[in-house]
Amino acid sequence: MRTRPLLALLAAGTVLVGCSADSDDTDSPDTADDIGGTLTVFAAASLTDVFTELGDELEDRYPGLDVQFSFAGSSALAGQLEQGAPADVFASADEAQMARMTDAGLATDPQIFAGNSLVLAVPPGNPGDVPVPSAESGPSSLTQFIDDDATLAVCAPEVPCGAAAAEVLEASGLSGAPDTYEDDVRAVLTKVQLGEVDAGLVYHSDVTAAGDSVVFYDFEEAELAFNRYPLVGLADAPNPEAARAFVELVLSSEGQEALLGAGFVVQ
């Protein structure tokens, strides 16, 4: 198995966090005693594990607070918000879906808090006999992994992970390769884990969460589609104080360390 070196990811990700995680206003979330009620966070599916962890931390700090998450493809979440779905925070897997929120007047001044890139995931044991180049050769072109016999799962094109997949497949001359399109990246990962496909294009953070249930490989074209993740407290947030506390936690040194441990790139 070959994993992507962290320094290479950091080089691809330049400056990710819009405000420094070392600043006083992001190192410690709001300490007001009266933060409570329900906090609703709409977040990209790839953030499921780490945001759930951070939500638990926020609930521990504010016993009167109930953090509720809606995890899905960023485009689907953006569409729900445009239709008036109530939420306090939106975290997208790319800047294009966040732009829908700012263009609609639903949010201002989103912050980039993390980055992610694609890897090729296969089931343990490689039952589909996906061609695997030598580990000593370094990252290889996607064409060296995918042939006409391999079944490949990717996200739907309208989802950030699908847009990234389309970009890398186009660059490698494999735009016709996908055999199945899924609603979000976790659905692609599940297909791979169950052995329903020979391989799938998922984020580095997803294979970190998956542990030994998948094997993953880097490929050269992934650097062409590095995704930057923005988040924002929404303009009409029903619980603005809690929204601010959650955003501050994500941007804090603690939040950034959690994201790094979950396989994301941070500043």
Domain shared by 45 and 74, yes or no: yes
- The answer as to whether 123 is a domain residue is yes
Domain shared by 196 and 177, yes or no: yes
Residues facing 202 on adjacent strands: 119
> How far is residue 105 from each of residues 15, 242, 247, 259, measured CA to CA in Å?
26, 20, 19, 28
CATH of the domain at 249: 3.40.190.10
The model's pLDDT over 248-260, given as tens digits with 9 standing for 90+, comes to 999 999 999 999 9
Query: At residue 15, does pLDDT exceed 80?
Result: no
Domain shared by 102 and 152, yes or no: no
Where do we find the tokens 């006083």? 24
Query: At residue 193, does pLDDT exceed 50?
Result: yes
Domain shared by 33 and 164, yes or no: no
pLDDT at 233 (0 to 100): 98
3-state secondary structure 44-87: EHHHHHHHHHHHHHHHHHCCCEEEEEEEECHHHHHHHHHCCCCC
CB neighbour list of residue 222: distance below 8 Å, 6 or more residues apart: 4, 117, 118, 119, 139, 168
The model's pLDDT over 86-98, given as tens digits with 9 standing for 90+, comes to 999 999 999 999 9
Domain shared by 72 and 203, yes or no: no
Q: How crowded is residue 90: how many other Cβ atoms within 10 Å of its Cβ? A: 30
pLDDT at 149 (0 to 100): 84
The model's pLDDT over 118-168, given as tens digits with 9 standing for 90+, comes to 999 999 999 989 887 766 666 689 998 988 788 999 999 999 999 999 999
> How far is residue 3 from each of residues 130, 136, 200, 212, 218, measured CA to CA in Å?
17, 12, 16, 13, 6
The helix (H) or strand (E) run that includes residue 25 is helix 24-27
Which residues constitute the domain of residue 203? 118-225
Judge contact between 123 and 193, C-beta under 8 A. yes
- The answer as to whether 167 is a domain residue is yes
Query: At residue 267, does pLDDT exceed 80?
Result: no
The model's pLDDT over 71-91, given as tens digits with 9 standing for 90+, comes to 999 999 999 999 999 999 999
What is the distance of C-alpha 6 from the center of its chain?
A: 16
Q: How crowded is residue 22: how many other Cβ atoms within 10 Å of its Cβ? A: 12
- The answer as to whether 69 is a domain residue is yes
- The answer as to whether 236 is a domain residue is yes
Domain shared by 93 and 188, yes or no: no
pLDDT at 254 (0 to 100): 97
- The answer as to whether 6 is a domain residue is no
The model's pLDDT over 106-131, given as tens digits with 9 standing for 90+, comes to 999 999 999 999 999 999 999 989 88
Q: How far apart are CA 104 and CA 102, in angstroms?
A: 5
- The answer as to whether 267 is a domain residue is no
Judge contact between 191 and 153, C-beta under 8 A. yes
Domain shared by 139 and 211, yes or no: yes
Domain shared by 91 and 41, yes or no: yes
Q: How far apart are CA 119 and CA 201, in angstroms?
A: 6
Q: How far apart are CA 9 and CA 27, in angstroms?
A: 24
Domain shared by 88 and 48, yes or no: yes
Domain shared by 141 and 207, yes or no: yes
